[in-house]
Structure 1
Amino acid sequence: MAGLRAGRVWVDHGQLVDGIDVRLTAATGHRGATLGGRLRVRRGQRLTLQVTVTTSARPNYHGELPARVPRRPARAAAARAW
C-alpha cells in the first residue's frame, strides 16, 4: 500500500506487459527519479524522460501476445529531451 500511496505503481489489466521502467533524469549530472520519485532541478534545466516497456513473453488469458518490436539504438528510442 505504501507504494500505491507514493505513486510507485503501474497497472496492466490485459496481461500484455511484463514490466515498465519510467526514468526522468537531468541533463547535467547523474541524478534521476523513477515512478513516484522526486527530481529537483533548476528552472530551464534540460530533462530526459525515458520509458521502457517489456512486453509479455507469454500469451494472456485470451491467447493474445503483443507484437515484438525490434530494439532500436537508445538515441532512436522513445526518449525525448525537454
Structure 2
Amino acid sequence: MRVPLGARWWLPAAMFALLGAGPVITQVTPPLRCPAGKVFVRADFKTCPTENRRRARTVRRACCQGESGKVRCMRYPRCPSRSPA
C-alpha cells in the first residue's frame, strides 16, 4: 500500500515542532499583575548571576500604585539555583 507524500512528512515535522517548542513553552514568565484596587505602573528587571556556559536569565517584577498614590513594587522571583555539577 502506498502512502501519499503529504501524509509521510507531516508527522515527523509535527513532532520536531513540538520538541523544539518545549523549552520555549516552559520558559514563559507569568504575567505581571497587581492586587485588587491597585494599578500597574511599571515593570522592573534584574539579571541573575550566571556561571560558565550558562545563559543569562532576567527576572521581572510589577510595581503597582495604590489609591493613595504611593508606588510599591512586588518581590523579585528567586533566581535559579546553581547546579553542583
TM-score by length of 1: 0.28
TM-score by length of 2: 0.28
Name the structure, 1 or 2, with higher relative contact order (CA <8 Å, separation 6+): 1
The structure with the largest helix share of the pair is 2
Which has the larger Rg?
2
